[in-house]
Amino acid sequence: MSDDRFEDFLREAAERYHVPPEVPREDMWLAIAEARRHSVPRSRRPGWRSWGIGIAAALAIGVGIGRLSVLFNEDPSVAATPAGEPSEIPVAYRVAASEHLGQVEVFLTGFRADARTGGPVTDAAPDARRLLATTRLLMDSPVANDLVLQDLLEDVELVLIQIAQYDARPGRGEFEFIDESIDQRSVLFRLHSAIDADAAGMPYQGAL
Amino acid sequence: MDDRALIARVLAGDSGAERLLYDQHVDGVYRLAYRMTGDDDLAREYTQETFIRTFERLDQFRGDAALSTWIRAIAGTVVLNGLRKVKRFRQREVELEEGVAHAATARRAEPDLKVKLEQAIEDLPAKYRMVFVMHDVEGYTHEEIGAALGMPVGTSKAQLFRARARLREALSDFAGEWAS
């Protein structure tokens, strides 16, 4: 059997793959118009700066609660909890981690979309640095007791470092490098899973 | 009307120009979304999302490439992201309902070339499938695919090669169909 014959066969057979029906132009146009009427203009959406401040504040509260817990905790059974159990992570840290991972997910998705579609990615570096700072705070917090989450944070850190150093000039090829990093380590998928698991009240490890 | 003039009119708030832009590009976007999903509801959803983003970001279009390429790039992102979500959802469904897995196994036990080919295409990784569908099904060039998916032309060619190799392997039971 020759390659040419197979490719001809494949091309012919593939034409019958998911043959599209007539395009429902009017229905879709109405839905688009409706959605745009209710959408918030990009300029009025909260920026990374305000999110970053919110997350930093949540972490600061988490650190405070954590220290107070240590000071006033007289129950030795808490200290005896096995390392690596998600339930061991104080609620404030867990909330901060979940919120942070959500912001990273949105940021990475937006960065990829903008880089691929020729959108403005030159302002991504400052946002990446802000998220990077929070990521490192979390890596040094009790959140790191969850080894799977720690592993995810390390991968997020790597990708954010790359974006913080991103050079958008044509021909640099850096976006492909970042894109591959995100894909090879399934960063977005794991972010989704961690966030979904937290929203469902499940431990991170159950979803990862 | 050329792209530049059309975009200027859309940005000036001309609703007729918005509709014209939509009409010029909607068929290609919907066809690609449908080919990738095989589902009218999903294809509509991804097409709508593509145009919502297109209108929202039109002021950022720099004109380095054709408007059609830019819109395809948005469509590619929307479809690939959407498929990841669908895949995750379906994986969870299968995990929850063992019967679904049994049904799928039963379908695979009836080897019909058309069914087998569809299954083999669907089993391709989303990016390979996208390149395969764009090139072999919708007739895009590697240059167009590279521009739309944000990858070098060589990567597009390599992914098509790998996609075909996987399909060839999956369809090896039917080798006589194309060898004769």
Q: Could you tell me the sign of the dihedral formed by the alpha carbons of B35, B39, B40, B42, in that order?
A: negative
pLDDT at position A59: 57
Which tens digits make up the pLDDT trace of A9-57?
A: 888 878 888 999 999 999 999 999 988 887 655 544 444 445 555 555 6
The whole-angstrom separation of Cα B109 and Cα B159 is 29
Q: In chain B, what are the domains?
A: 1-93 (1.10.1740.10), 110-174 (1.10.10.10)
Most confident of A116-130, B40-54, B147-161: B40-54
Which residue in the set B23, B52, B84 is minimally distant from A32, CB to CB?
B52
Rank A54-63, A174-183, B44-53 by mean pLDDT and report only the highest: B44-53
Minimal Cβ distance to A116: which of B73, B137, B167: B73
- Residues whose CB is less than 8 angstroms from the CB of residue A111 and which lie 6 or more positions away in sequence, other chains included: A121, A124, A128, A163
Residue A5, Cβ neighbours under 10 Å: how many? 14
CB contact (8 A) between residue A118 and residue B117: no
Asked if residue A127 lies in contact with residue A48, where contact means CB atoms within 8 angstroms, the answer is: yes
What is the pLDDT confidence band of residue A60, given thresholds at 50, 70 and 90?
low
Chain A partners within 8 Å of B30 (Cβ): 20, 23-24, 28
Q: What is the DSSP letter of B173?
A: G
Sign of the CA dihedral A162, A163, A169, A170?
positive
Residue A71 confidence (pLDDT): 44
Q: Which run of H or of E encompasses B12? A: none
Contact A119 B57 (CB under 8 A): yes
Taking contacts as CB-CB distances below 8 angstroms, the residues of chain B near A42 are 56-57
What element of type H or E holds B60? Answer: none
Beta carbons of A117 and B70 less than 8 Å apart: yes
Task: Specify the pTM.
Answer: 0.55
DSSP character string of A109-164: HHHHHHHHHT---TTHHHHHHHHHHHHHHHHTSGGGGSHHHHHHHHHHHHHHHHHH
| DSSP code at position A86 | G
Position A61 confidence tier, pLDDT thresholds 50, 70, 90? low
Q: Would you state the pLDDT for residue B90?
A: 62
Mean pLDDT for B70-88 is: 82
Q: What angle do CA A163, A165, A167 make, to 5 degrees?
A: 90
ipTM of the complex: 0.83
Contact list in B for residue A179 (CB cut-off 8 A) is 150
Q: Do the Cβ atoms of A28 and B44 come within 8 Å?
A: yes
Q: Which of A191-195, B81-85, B157-161, B172-176 has the highest mean pLDDT?
A: B157-161
Contact residues on chain A for B177, CB-CB shorter than 8 A:
9
pLDDT of residue A125: 82
Task: Tell me whether residues B52 and A39 touch, CB distance under 8 A.
Answer: yes
pLDDT at B86 over 60: yes
Q: What pLDDT, on a 0 to 100 scale, did the predictor assign at position B87?
A: 67
Q: Scanning every residue of chain B, which has its alpha carbon at the shortest distance from the alpha carbon of A38? A: B52
Q: Calculate the average pLDDT of chain A.
A: 71
